[in-house]
Chains A and B, each alone.
Chain A
Amino acid sequence: MPWEVGLAETHQTLVLNDLRGRVRLQTDGQMRTGRDIVIGGLLGAEEFGFGTTTLIVMGCIMMRKCHLNTCPVGIATQDPRLRKRFAGKPEHLINYFRFLAEEVREVMASLGIRKFNDLIGRTDLLEVAPNSHWKAKSANPSLLLHRPAEADKYATYCVQDQIHKIDAILDRTLIEKSKNAIEKKEKVSFSVPVKNTDRTAGAMLSYEISKRYGDDGLPEGTLSVDFNGSAGQSFGAFLAKGVTFRLNGDANDYLGKGLSGGKIVVVPPKGSTFKPEENIIIGNTVLYGATAGEVYVRGVAGERFCVRNSGALAVIEGTGDHCAEYMTGGYLVVLGKVGRNFGAGMSGGIAYVYDVDGNFDYFCNKGMVELSKLDNDEDVSRVKSMIQKHIDNTDSEHAKNILSNWSSTQPKFIKVMPVEYKRALEEMKLKELDKKLEGIIEEEEIGGKA
C-alpha cells in the first residue's frame, strides 16, 4: 500500500475527531528527496523514516543477500573479511540529510511556507499532475487531497504532549517503601494491595535499582514485596536481581516480561477452595524475552508460557497452547497438562513436562525439538531441585505429591530439548574434554621431560 493513501486517511480522520493535535504522524517507504518529504507533510505527516536510501548512502548496492552473510559491501554481514570492505562514513549520511533538509527548505520557500508545521495537511498546495498512463485513468486522487473543514478549528499537527498518568502509580509507592533497600542495600519487606489497573508493577522500581547497580542488581533476598489481589498486565516486568515479588491472587498477561534476575511467586489467595493445578491463575505470554530470574506459579498459565524466554527458570502446574514457543534459553518445568503446539520454534533451553496422561507427544510440535526420558543424573537432580524450590516458595500440594512419589512419577517426566541446542552443547562439552585432555598430555610431557 503506498504510504500516501494510509497517511491521508489517518490524518483526515484524526483532524475530523480533533485528535490530530495529540499525536505525531510518521510515514516512510521509498522516501528519497526533499520533495517526497514536503508531499508527505502536505498529506499530513510530521515525521519521516528513511530505510533503503540511507543504506544506499552508506554503500548498499542492493545485492539482496542480506540473509546470507555475504554482503560484499560489508553492511549486512558479520564476516570480518567482508566488514573490512565497508566504505560508508557517518559523514555520508550527514551529507545526505543536509541535502534533504536543504531541498525541503527550497520547496517550502517556493510554496511560501515558513515553518514545516504550517504545511502539514495543506493539501490545497498539491495538484494532480496529468498522467496518460492507462491505469491512471481509473484512479481518483481527490479523496487523498480532501481537507476536512474541521482543519480550520482543530489542530492539524501535534500541539499537545502526551499525558502519561504515571505520577501516582503503584511503583511510586514501591520505590518509596524500598528506599533503604535501593539506597543502602538493607533488607526490606512489606506488603501492598494490588489491582488490575496497576500495570507493569515493578518496572520503575527495577529501573531505580539497575540505574545504581547495573546488571548486578541487589544482593539475593534484599527486597521482598507481598502483593494481595489481582495484578494488572506485565506484573514484575524487568524485575531486577535481589527483588522477590510474591502475589497472593492472580495476574493478567505478560507477567515477568523481560525478567532480569528477580523472582516472582504466584499463589492462589489464602482461603480459596479451587484446585490450583487445574485452574488458570496467570494470563498469557508470560516471561516474554526474560533473560534471568525465577518464576514459581502454583496454578496454571494461559497461552504462550515462556515465549522467547532466554534464560529464566520457571515452574508451573499446567499451561495453555504454544508453551515454550521460540524459547532460546533457561529451564522450564511443567507439572501438569499443556496445550497444543508445545515447543514450536524452540531453539534453546530445556523444558521438562510431567506427562500425567501419557499423550504429551500429541501436544508437542517436534519441528525443532526432540523428546526423551529423564535418564541421567544431571536431569533428575535438576528437575528435583526445581520442584523442591517450587514447594519452598508456593507450598504446592501437587508438587509435594510428585516429589514424595518420585519413583513412580519420574518415569512420567519428558525432557524436551532443541536438536540444534543439544548438538551445540555436546560440541562444547567435547571441546572442554579436548582441552582437559590436552592439559593432561602437556602435563605428562612436562613431567616426562623433568
Chain B
Amino acid sequence: MKIEDKTVPIREAPTSEEIVIKIKDLRKCFGDNEVLKGFNMVLRKGENLVVMGKSGSGKSVMIKCLVGLMAPDSGIIEVLGKNIDQLDQMELDELRSDIGFLFQGSALYDSMTVRENLEFPMRRHRKKFEGITDTLPLVKEALENVGLAHTMDLMPSELSGGMKRRVALARAIILKPKLILYDEPTSGLDPITSKEIIELMRNIQHKYGTSALIITHDVDCARVISERMILLVDGINYAEGTFTELIGSQDPKVNAFFKK
C-alpha cells in the first residue's frame, strides 16, 4: 500500500465509474481549533467506504459538511453530482431526500413514537412518494428490514440503545436513499449488537444497492464492511487502501489504528 501525502492527489476513479461523493481540499476550523486541513475523498457508486479516525479528529464535522449541516471554510463538496455550496434551500432538501443519515447518537425524536419518527422524513419529501397516501406499508417495510416491526407504537425512551440504533437505521432508509452516511453506527453498543447492526447495513446495501460512507473507529466494523478505507489523521486523508493493505502498513500513525 502507499501512503498519500498532502501533495499527491488522491486516486482518481476510472471515468466509466460514477462518482457519488467528491470532496476536495476540505478545510474547517472552530476558532483556533483547526479540525480539517485539506481533506480529500472520493466515493464511487455502490461502494462501501470506511473513514477511520481518532475521537475528535473531525469525522463528524466532515460528514456534516457533506449534507450541508455545517458550512466548510473552504473546499469543494460534490454529492450525487451537485455542488453543495451552490444549492438553494429547495435543491438542498431535494438532494437530502436521496441521502440517508444515521447519526452518532441515533437522534430519534423523543417526543414522537417510532412510527412518527419514521414518517417524519416523508412529510416534506412527498415528491418521492407521488400518489402514496398510506405511509403505513412503508413504515412497516422499513421496520421489518431491521427486525423491529413490533415496536411501531413505542416511544424511543422505551427502546434499548441497540434498538434505537436500528430504528434510526430504518428512518435513514425509509426514503430509499441512493447514498447512506453512517456516523459511527456501532459506537456505544456491545460487540454482539454491533455485529447485528453491521449485518443489517450489509443487507440493506445488498437489497437496495446503495453506496455507503461509514465513519467509525471500530476496527472490527471496518474489517467486515469496508471495500476501501481512508484514515483521517491530523485533518487530512493520511492513508488510503483496503483493510488488508492498511493493516500491513509500516507507518506508525497507520499502525496505531490496528494495535489491540
Do A and B associate with each other? Answer: no
Identify the B interface with A (CB < 8 A).
Answer: none
Identify the A interface with B (CB < 8 A).
Answer: none
